[in-house]
Amino acid sequence: MGSALRVPPVNVGVRSIPSYPGMVAINTLSDGSRVFAGQRDDGFYVDIGSAFDLLSFKTLVGGTAVDGLAGVNVHSIAIEVPINRLTRSGARPTSPAGSAAVIGVWSTASRRQVITKSAGSESHTGSFVQVSRLGNPLVNELVIPRSTKDAFNALEPTGDGAALAFVLDPEPARLIEGLFKVSVPPPPRNDLVTVFLTGVPNLNQPPGVVASEQMRLNVAVPPAAVPHRLGPFAGDFAGYPNGRRVGDDVVDITVRVAAGGYPLTPAFDRPPNNALGDGVDANDVPYLTGFPFLATPHPGRR
């Protein structure tokens, strides 16, 4: 898509770079796409200690929630692509019900098959092998068991039938039920198949869909005038699981979906199932209002 693009330096400190917010370095490509690569504030917010300690969210066990990523930077690549470059019709759909309105997205990372190390040097040879993939947030981290993560990370979405059992009966849902005595829908969890593998009907499910784990987005749904962190849970259908904005509270949404607190399971779409969460409801600093949206990184020395 581009080469020899500008990147900003890292935010080493206020003496070296006293006005870092002006160093965003956005590149515009010949097709109208825009690209940013550089350091940003980590826009993900979560009580990560509680999440990995058997989902012991403070909202359930008491105490004060802590954003484990507050004050942390991350190296980011942001790409803004015109919608008509993404749809199979080559046009920008105007109706959410249009046959080309829903796109599916996932990312992968690959590395060379062979790494050879010797004193003072390292070489990488052989074919590139896929070692990681990401579609919906937290599916890879929470739904796929550790023993099969390597196998899942090597798959393309066309092979996701191998992981269907983990979505139909996910471990986090059983943890919520066993640890906190919250009744959740019994398996098979076809509601989770809808959210994670096919898209939600009349929202982001494409015609003739084949179940596969992708981030699905209906590009004809207009942006919300006032985005809500809970997306469709709060009537904002421009938010996750219809795509994902940087400010969407994907932890709270995913936990509530796992507990059945979503309109797909009316009997469980009530408290406490549709009110679960980690207690961290916003990023530690405001996002930018324009591209690349992630906030200015924290300086290494203040």
Q: Quick one: what percent of the chain has pLDDT higher than 90?
A: 84
Q: Which of 197, 173, 195 is nearest to 264 (CA)?
A: 195
Segment 120-172, tens digit of pLDDT: 899 999 999 999 999 999 998 888 988 999 999 999 999 998 889 999 999 98
Residue 202 within a domain:
yes
Number of domains into which the chain is organized: 1
Tell me the pLDDT of the chain averaged across its residues: 94
What pLDDT score was predicted for residue 261?
Answer: 93
Q: Quick one: what percent of the chain has pLDDT higher than 70?
A: 100
Is 55 a residue whose pLDDT tops 90? no
Residue 236 within a domain:
yes
Residue 54 within a domain:
yes
Residue 290 within a domain:
no
Is 59 a residue whose pLDDT tops 90? no
What pLDDT score was predicted for residue 62?
Answer: 87
Segment 202-250, tens digit of pLDDT: 999 999 999 999 999 999 999 999 999 999 999 999 999 999 999 999 9
Residue 92 within a domain:
yes
Domain that holds residue 239: 20-275
Residue 3 within a domain:
no
Segment 19-37, tens digit of pLDDT: 999 888 999 999 999 999 9
Residue 229 within a domain:
yes
What pLDDT score was predicted for residue 60?
Answer: 83
What pLDDT score was predicted for residue 249?
Answer: 98
Is 266 a residue whose pLDDT tops 90? yes
Residue 137 within a domain:
yes
Segment 289-298, tens digit of pLDDT: 999 999 999 9
